[in-house]
Structures are given as C-alpha cells and as structure tokens.
C-alpha cells in the first residue's frame, strides 16, 4: 500500500444512488456497470451493496473482470466487448453472457451449447455492433440451432446531450428491432446520461447504469461516493526565483513561498494535466503547481498548513465533475476516467 494515500468509498452513497434509480425509473433489469474494478472502487463491498439496493444484473468489459465479479454475485453478468474463443468455456461454466455482433465470429466459437449472448446493434458509434438486419437474423437462427440462448439485445447511446443524434440512433434501433420478430428477454439501451435526459425508450425493459451509481453527476438527487486524500509529507520554503520540480515548471514569485509535497503522482492516477487545478486542505482551496512527478506532486500552500495535514485531491464525487470540467480544455477527461486511473494499490476504506 502507498503510505499516506487513501481512496474513500461511501457505500451508503452507492445504496442511495441505486435506490434513487430503482424507485424513480421502472425497469425489469437494472444493470450495474462495474468495469475497471467498479470505476476504481473495488468489487467486493461495492457489488454486494449494489445488489442489496436493487441492481439485478452486472456488466463488465472483459473475461477477467467477469470472473472477478462472479466471486461476489450470482446475478447475471454481461461482457460488453468481444471474448476470445478460448475463453468461451469459462463463460459457460460461470454463467457469464457475452456480446455478439458478427456471425462469422459466432460460427468460429466451437463450444456453443448453454452459451448466453446479447446481440449488439451498431446505431452509429461504429465500435462494436451490427446494423445489418439479415446478419442479426442469421445470428438468432444460428443460435437457436446450436443451443445458444439469445438473452438480450442492446445498443449504446454515445452522445446523449445531442438529441438529434440520439433520435437517429433510436430510429435505427427501432427499425432493426421491428424486423427481427424475436422475443428478447432483455432489451437495454439507456446509460446514465441518457437516463436523466430522455423518457423510457420503446421496447426496452433494462438500463445500464455506471456514472450515476458512483455519484458522477451534478444532479443533487445522487450522493457522493468517492474521495481521494493524501497528506503533506514535506514543506519547502522558497526564495523568489526558486523553481519547483521537473523542468523548473514553477518559479516562486516572492520570498518565503511555501510548497507542500504529497506522496502521489501520475503513476498513482494523478495525471500531469491536473497541474494548476485546486485541491482542498482544511476546507480551503490550494493549487497544484509545477510538473506532477511519477510519485509526488507540489501544492502551493500558506502558513496555516502543517506537516501531515490531509490533502483532498478529490473532495467528493461532484468534485470529480468539476475536475473533469477543468481538464476538458486540454485533456477532455471524462469523469469516470478520473476515478478509473486511480492506482488499485492505493489503500481503500469503506464507509458504511
């Protein structure tokens, strides 16, 4: 563990956020997205809290994540990206569903009986998915003949703030869906952002929720989940003209400037573009100065800050949104990226 750095996860906040969704948005399937170690929060307690609050299905990015999540839940798990054929048997043995968007890929899978699949429709993002009605029909027919259960169908809203684009995506999905004549147990389209902006889409009975579960929204109905803190481990008093860190990227403007050094850097997830943004010490704002190092960063402080004082690099989940906005001019960093890059070796503490 890295001494002096702690990621705090508010489990009550996660429970509240799930309930906020299940109480106000009526679906049969509430799919909790727990990619990237549950957005950096860790699997065990987070998954159990989500499940106790009403999440009844989970989604992950790959087979390794799926097998980790399976340790903590008996609920359904969907892998959202393609799985290598040699891992298919693991999916069958562990009751893990996979995404299918290509008939040739499906035919290349040698072990199929008892496999569960969700078909992904490409409605414009052009990452994964098929928009060929005939191909999707062939996937369904091939599955029925080879003991594969077609458990669901879905697409992904990739630009929720653009209503025209969303309408176009939904038109594509609805057209394809209407041509299939198949009773899908699960139909899921919405993600966190689109859930807040649009009414329930036609045909759907499930939603995939990521950001909202972790409080990554400015909507006050959702509680904070994440905070990241470090500590001042050295204090330097500078003379006018002294420089700080690599490349001398910060220069003291006057005598007796104070710099606090913290034991966290870009290797821990505090990426270099964070230079210049604010952190919190004793409920007061202070600025990160100089180039962020691999394992350290520099904070311009004042005489009220003492050695070993706590430094909140992320004060709460809404602070993640503010950091994302600050970084958007130079880095275009999504809120979830800020939490996902936090080094998994940083100590985690859970607040019940």
**Together in a domain, 294 and 172:** no
Q: How far apart are CA 300 and CA 251, in angstroms?
A: 11
Q: How far apart are CA 7 and CA 299, in angstroms?
A: 19
Does some domain include residue 231?
Answer: yes
**Together in a domain, 165 and 202:** yes
Q: How far apart are CA 212 and CA 238, in angstroms?
A: 43
According to the model, what pLDDT value does residue 51 have? 98
Query: Across all residues in the chain, what is the average pLDDT?
Result: 95
CATH number of the domain at 134, please: 3.20.20.10
CATH number of the domain at 262, please: 2.40.37.10
* Percent of the residues in the chain that have a pLDDT greater than 70, as a whole number: 99
Where does the pLDDT of residue 332 fall: very low under 50, low under 70, confident under 90, or very high at 90 and above? low
Neighbouring residues of 299: CB distance < 8 A, sequence distance ≥ 6: 232, 259, 260, 261, 262, 279, 281, 286, 287, 288, 289, 311
**Together in a domain, 263 and 154:** no
Q: What is the pLDDT of residues 195-236, one digit of tens each?
A: 999 999 999 999 999 999 999 999 999 999 999 999 999 999
Q: Which of 2-6, 29-33, 191-195, 339-343 has the lowest mean pLDDT?
A: 2-6
- CA dihedral sign, ordered 34, 37, 39, 44: positive
**Together in a domain, 202 and 90:** yes
**Together in a domain, 191 and 268:** no
Does some domain include residue 1?
Answer: no
Helix axes 11-24, 44-53, angle to 10 degrees: 30
Q: What is the pLDDT of residues 75-126, one digit of tens each?
A: 999 999 999 999 999 999 999 999 999 999 999 988 778 999 999 999 998 8
Where does the pLDDT of residue 328 fall: very low under 50, low under 70, confident under 90, or very high at 90 and above? confident
Per DSSP, the residues of 42-56 read: -SHHHHHHHHHHT--
**Together in a domain, 205 and 254:** no
**Together in a domain, 152 and 232:** no
Q: How far apart are CA 22 and CA 124, in angstroms?
A: 29
pLDDT at 295 over 50: yes
User: Would you say 50 and 76 are in contact if contact means Cβ atoms under 8 Å apart?
Assistant: no
According to the model, what pLDDT value does residue 112 have? 78
**Together in a domain, 144 and 273:** no
**Together in a domain, 72 and 145:** yes
Per DSSP, the residues of 3-40 read: TT-EEEEEHHHHHHHHHHHHHHS--SEEEEE-HHHHHT
User: What's the whole-number mean pLDDT along residues 40-48?
Assistant: 96
According to the model, what pLDDT value does residue 1 have? 37
User: Would you say 198 and 169 are in contact if contact means Cβ atoms under 8 Å apart?
Assistant: no
**Together in a domain, 236 and 190:** no
User: Would you say 134 and 142 are in contact if contact means Cβ atoms under 8 Å apart?
Assistant: no
Does some domain include residue 257?
Answer: yes
Does some domain include residue 262?
Answer: yes
User: Would you say 58 and 31 are in contact if contact means Cβ atoms under 8 Å apart?
Assistant: yes
Does some domain include residue 53?
Answer: yes
**Together in a domain, 23 and 156:** yes
Does some domain include residue 221?
Answer: no
Nearest partner of 133 among 145, 121, 151, judged by Cα: 121
Can you tell me whether residue 345 is helix, strand or coil?
coil
Total domains in the chain come to 2
Decide which of 185, 214, 243 is a domain's last residue. 214
Nearest partner of 287 among 324, 307, 313, judged by Cα: 313
Q: How far apart are CA 89 and CA 98, in angstroms?
A: 11
Q: Which domain holds residue 259?
A: 226-351
Decide which of 153, 185, 214 is a domain's last residue. 214
User: What's the whole-number mean pLDDT along residues 332-338?
Assistant: 82
**Together in a domain, 46 and 115:** yes
According to the model, what pLDDT value does residue 2 have? 40
User: What's the whole-number mean pLDDT along residues 192-196?
Assistant: 95
Q: How far apart are CA 147 and CA 142, in angstroms?
A: 9
Decide which of 214, 242, 259 is a domain's last residue. 214
pLDDT at 256 over 90: yes
pLDDT at 308 over 90: yes
Where does the pLDDT of residue 315 fall: very low under 50, low under 70, confident under 90, or very high at 90 and above? very high
């Amino acid at each position: 563990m890295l001494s002096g750095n702690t990621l705090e996860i508010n489990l009550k906040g996660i429970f509240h956020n799930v309930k906020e969704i299940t109480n106000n948005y009526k679906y049969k399937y509430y799919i909790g997205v727990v990619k990237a170690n549950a957005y950096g929060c860790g699997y065990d307690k987070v998954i159990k809290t989500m499940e106790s609050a009403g999440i009844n299905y989970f989604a992950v990015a790959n087979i390794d994540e799926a097998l980790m999540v399976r340790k903590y839940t008996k609920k359904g798990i969907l892998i959202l990206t393609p799985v290598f054929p040699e891992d298919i048997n693991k999916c069958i043995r562990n009751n893990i569903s996979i995404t299918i968007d290509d008939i040739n890929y499906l035919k290349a899978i040698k072990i199929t009986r008892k496999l569960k699949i969700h078909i992904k429709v490409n409605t414009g993002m052009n990452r994964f998915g098929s928009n060929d009605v005939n191909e999707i029909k062939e996937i369904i027919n091939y599955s029925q003949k080879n003991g594969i259960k077609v458990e669901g169908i879905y697409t992904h809203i990739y630009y929720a703030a653009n209503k025209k684009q969303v309408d176009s995506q939904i038109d594509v999905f609805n057209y394809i869906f209407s041509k299939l004549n198949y009773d899908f147990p699960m139909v899921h389209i919405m993600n966190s952002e689109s859930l807040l902006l649009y009414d329930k889409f036609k045909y759907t009975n499930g939603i995939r929720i990521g950001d909202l579960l972790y409080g990554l929204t400015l909507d006050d109905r959702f509680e904070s989940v994440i905070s990241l803190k470090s500590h001042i481990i050295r204090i330097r008093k500078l003379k006018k003209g002294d420089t700080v860190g690599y490349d001398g990227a910060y220069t003291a403007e006057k005598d007796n400037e104070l710099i606090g050094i913290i034991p966290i850097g870009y290797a821990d997830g505090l990426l270099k573009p964070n230079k210049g943004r604010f952190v919190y010490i004793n409920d007061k704002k202070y600025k990160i100065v100089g180039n962020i190092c691999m394992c350290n960063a520099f904070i311009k402080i004042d005489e009220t800050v003492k050695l070993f004082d706590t430094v909140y690099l992320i004060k709460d989940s809404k602070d993640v949104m503010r950091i994302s906005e600050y970084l958007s001019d130079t880095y275009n960093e999504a809120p979830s990226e800020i939490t996902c890059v936090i080094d998994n070796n940083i100590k985690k503490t859970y607040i019940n």
